[in-house]
Amino acid sequence: MSEVPASHPRYLSLKLREAMVAGVEKGITSVHGLIAHGRGEALDYLIGEASQSFALEAIRVAAALLLRATHPVISVNGNAAAMVPAELTALGRLLPAPLEVNIFHASQLREQAIGDHLLAHGAHTVLMPTDQALLSFIESNRRFVHPEGIFRADVVFVPLEDGDRCQALRRMGKEVVTVDLNPLSRTARTASATIVDNLARAMPLLLAAVAQLRQESAGTWQEIISGYDNHAVLRAAEARIRSGA
């Protein structure tokens, strides 16, 4: 790791780049993941590289959806594993919910590397893709899931999702919570709650929201969820990007 001084104006951005490159070197992240990360960086720049009010609102709803779930599952790909392994593990412990490895570009080696990386960061349960359970409405490698994980989940947390699987999960009747810096993506538009923020900034906020809301009643979670309009949140995010403020 190169030394980036904390005072550097692009500190977080540079640290994340290093984490992504380290992810590729460790066999966790695909090279395609670097391109997806670059698109995220550009959008992050346009939202001001800060967690805006539309993200905070979605984070609260995301926490309520995950707490209300009977069987929540955290889906992890190579980018998320490289960027926020400790936070994903902490979320799994707090809810509690299993982590499940699910990647777009098929590679058993990379799946194993992601699983090992999460276990090294203290995950208590890491489920792997299987051919015992397949998602409907989708053809890619992401259809292979674990029968006790994503397959039977009622709420799936899928940071940095691809649109096809988000649509498939929704068509299977599941709630989807995502983190996506692009409010125009199919994922953002299809999910139940879209946190338009950098995953690295959103995870600590989501952890804090879950820790706070778990003290509240199921009635409070329900109220938070029923008053929520994901499309309004996406419009606010898009307006921020277009305004260039």
Question: Which residues make up the interface to ligand ATP (CB under 6 A)?
Answer: 36-37, 39-40, 43, 160, 162-163, 179-182, 185-187, 198-199
- Tell me the one-letter amino acid at 144: F
Residue 41 or 216: the one with the smaller Cβ distance to ligand ATP is 41
Helices marked H in the chain: 11-25, 31-46, 53-68, 78-83, 85-94, 108-120, 163-171, 186-190, 199-213, 218-226, 230-243
Q: Tell the smallest beta-carbon distance from residue 243 to ligand ATP (Å).
A: 18
Q: Tell the smallest beta-carbon distance from residue 219 to ligand ATP (Å).
A: 31
Q: Tell the smallest beta-carbon distance from residue 39 to ligand ATP (Å).
A: 5
Residue 89 or 182: the one with the smaller Cβ distance to ligand ATP is 182
Structure tokens at 210: 């879950």
Residue 162 or 216: the one with the smaller Cβ distance to ligand ATP is 162
Residue 21 or 216: the one with the smaller Cβ distance to ligand ATP is 21
Residue 170 CA to residue 186 CA, distance in Å, equals 12
Q: Is 211 left (phi over 0), alpha (psi -120 to 50) or beta?
A: alpha
CB 88 within 8 A of CB 118: yes
Q: Which residue is nearest to ligand ATP (CB)?
A: 40
Q: Tell the smallest beta-carbon distance from residue 80 to ligand ATP (Å).
A: 9
